[in-house]
Structure 1
Amino acid sequence: MEQIVGCDIEMEFHEVNAKTEADVRLRLHDGTQVKAHGAANRHPDDPAQQRVGEEIAAARALNDLSQQLLEKAGGDIEEVTHLHTHLSG
């Protein structure tokens, strides 16, 4: 029997001068929340392109989120099996 569950993800951006930051929050269906952060710094010689900074900061935040989820899953597995687990992306 197939089971479909969902989760909510929220991301917001903060831009100050040449720095763009992204904060992401993932809320799993069991209520667990995982938060992550990413940032991008524009080189002074580059033109101001807000979208590009957001894309880079978002990618870095999602990468951080991915690593945290792998670590959490590994911990959850170890809790049940009592064996060392190494998960990598």
Structure 2
Amino acid sequence: METIVGWHIDMEFREVDAKTEAAVMLRLQDGTELRAHGRANRHPDDPSQPRVGEEIAAARALNDLARRLLKKAGVEIEQVTHLEAHLHP
């Protein structure tokens, strides 16, 4: 039997001068929310390319989210097995 599950991810950006910050929130089916952040800093000599800053900040925020999600899964495994979980990114 096939099961289809959906997760909702929201991402917002804030740009101030040469800095771009990304905030991501993942909402799981059970209502749990995980939040993560990433940032990008443009070198003063580089031209302004807001989309590139957003892409870098988003990638870093998603990496942070992945680490948090692995940690959450590890805790849940340990609660059931009573053994240390070894999850690698």
Shorter-chain TM-score category?
Answer: over 0.9
Which ranges of 4 or more aligned residues in structure 1 deviate by more than 4 Å? none
Q: How does 1:1-89 map to 2 (within 5 A)?
A: 1-89=1-89
The separation in 1 between residues aligned to 2:4 and 2:31, in whole angstroms, is: 16
* TM-score computed with the length of structure 2 as normaliser: 0.98
Partner-residue secondary structure (3-state), 1:22: strand
Q: Cα offset for 1:3? A: 1.0
Figure out how many residues of one structure are paired with residues of the other and give that number. Answer: 89
RMSD (Å) for aligned C-alpha atoms = 0.5
Structure 2 gap ranges (5+): none
* TM-score computed with the length of structure 1 as normaliser: 0.98
The separation in 2 between residues aligned to 1:3 and 1:48, in whole angstroms, is: 44
The separation in 2 between residues aligned to 1:73 and 1:40, in whole angstroms, is: 28
The separation in 2 between residues aligned to 1:86 and 1:41, in whole angstroms, is: 33
Partner-residue secondary structure (3-state), 1:15: strand
